[in-house]
Amino acid sequence: MPALKTKDKTDTIIKYDLKRKGGIDSMKDVYENPLITRYSSREMAHIFSDDMKFKTWRRLWVALAEAEHEMGLPISQEQIDELKRYAEDINYDVAQAREREVRHDVMSHVYAYGVQCPKAKGIIHLGATSCYVGDNTDIIVMDQALSMIEKKLVNVIARLKEFALNYKDMPTLGFTHYQPAQLTTVGKRATLWMQDLVMDYEQLQFVKSQVRLRGVKGTTGTQASFLTLFEGDANKVKELERKVARKLGYEKVYAVTGQTYPRKFDSIVADLLSSIAQSAYKFANDLRLLQNLKEIEEPFEKKQIGSSAMAYKRNPMRSERICSLARYIISLASSPAITASTQWFERTLDDSANKRLVIPQAFMALDAVLNIYLNVSSGMVVYPKVIEKRIREELPFMATETILMDAVKRGGDRQVLHEKIREYSMQAGARVKEEGKANNLIELIKADVAFRMKPEEIDDIMDPRNFTGLAEVQTEDFIREVADPVLGKYSDLSMQGEINV
């Protein structure tokens, strides 16, 4: 799959593939996480994999050793070369066996790395605490996951733009309180979905701008161990941290930390994911209602089964899945907030198990939501005749104000005509609700000479396009002024491959 590239070559977003390649091996006798086996893409699952985690740990150890070597500590190039040689070759069996003995994941991997690198084992993790690899890796992983969310979010906006332009001038019945209201257009309604996502995009850009490494801070964030290594030279400690960050592709680190980076950042990220989920939920909920009205439907495969009992049904299962997963993401946002608010002083370990669950699952669930959103927004089916029929049922009531004003201009008595419209509206409403017949309000008005209007003149007023206001113009303006500036930052918005929805 081609990369989604920005026009700025320094900000190229990594490519990814939505097509599943055989799935993930499963074990049928134990619980499996459906986010991995059923919903999330392999690419997002990989970002939170052990391979990604432990290879990043080793990247961090290499970067630290290199920087310490460059700053004059007794670390040889031969030791660094040895570390690099095994940076991608994780000896999991050794690490797992060691962890069963010492009950410490970081020290187990330090040991395993040292088994592969006997010349360098004495300098691995020099001066660092566990959070040097753990926390910096968590930030790097979240950063990569945010980039994947960004790509998919932008692509959904692009799909909705296409839909909005195609239907920018198609009148449709608007609803407030899920009761018939004034007309809008199908395309204008799509801009409401887009606007939510653009707001999410803007928030995502802000969060990404705030990404920074924990850095090289030591056990309680004071950098005391590194100050000792450099014999009290604070400038060298600061330069070491800058070097390490740059080797990992970052310019910024937190100015101060305890043992961990601020858990507030996890809460900020979770809030962002929740916000995007809320937008997707709104879209999917609207589409479920529209599908019930038979106005717009999500894609439905040729051999898809809607119900095991009712063969005629076309259930909006993809939109329902969006809502289901989005609800889960929204609920997850509370955990990082509670974790951030209950950390003690420089750190406490009750964050670990919680964030190990919440952060990956929130990302994987949102990845699944956006995959489905992409699929649905690319293939929505519109039924103009049904939309037109519903407009005809409700428009007579809405048109009466215009008819009243035109009739008064022709010399009619406003108060008399208003009362006639009220009476005719009650009659027509009873006919529709109590007898199940068509709305005949306009026919009643046409037959009353008090309105001083020819039937064809009233028919001209009844053109639905007279009642959509600036909906078409607003759609065009929104896309030109709001959506296109976002989409214009990306030179390739093509989404290829298959999405398992």
Active site residues: 177, 307
Q: In the numeric block, which tokens belong to residue 100?
A: 């069963």
CA gap 153, 156 in Å, rounded: 5
Q: In the numeric block, which tokens belong to residue 363?
A: 């990302």
Phi then psi for residue 384, to 5 deg, are: -60, -35
Phi-psi category of 23—alpha, beta or left, where left has phi over 0 and alpha has psi -120 to 50?
Answer: left
DSSP 8-state assignment for residue 180: E
Which of 416, 466, 460, 458 lies closest to 441 in space, CA to CA?
A: 458
Within 272-351, strands assigned E span: 296-297
Which of 83, 177, 169 lies closest to 124 in space, CA to CA?
A: 83
Q: Give me the torsion for CA of 237, 241, 243, 247, rounded to 10°.
A: 150
Phi-psi category of 179—alpha, beta or left, where left has phi over 0 and alpha has psi -120 to 50?
Answer: beta
- Contact between 337 and 270 under an 8 Å Cβ cutoff? The reply is yes
Angle, nearest 10°, between helix axes 317-332 and 334-341? 10
Q: Other CB atoms closer than 10 Å to residue 100's CB: what's the count? A: 9
Residue 234: is it exposed, middle or buried by C-beta count within 10 angstroms (0-12/13-18/19+)?
exposed
DSSP 8-state assignment for residue 482: I
- Contact between 49 and 374 under an 8 Å Cβ cutoff? The reply is no
How many CA atoms, within 13 angstroms, populate the side-chain half-sphere of residue 232?
0
Within 318-367, strands assigned E span: none
How many residues are present in the chain? 501
Amino acid at 15: K
**Token pair 């890796």 is at which residue?**
137
In sequence order, the 6+-apart residues with CB closer than 8 A to the CB of 21 are: 42
- Contact between 214 and 135 under an 8 Å Cβ cutoff? The reply is yes
**Token pair 């014999």 is at which residue?**
231
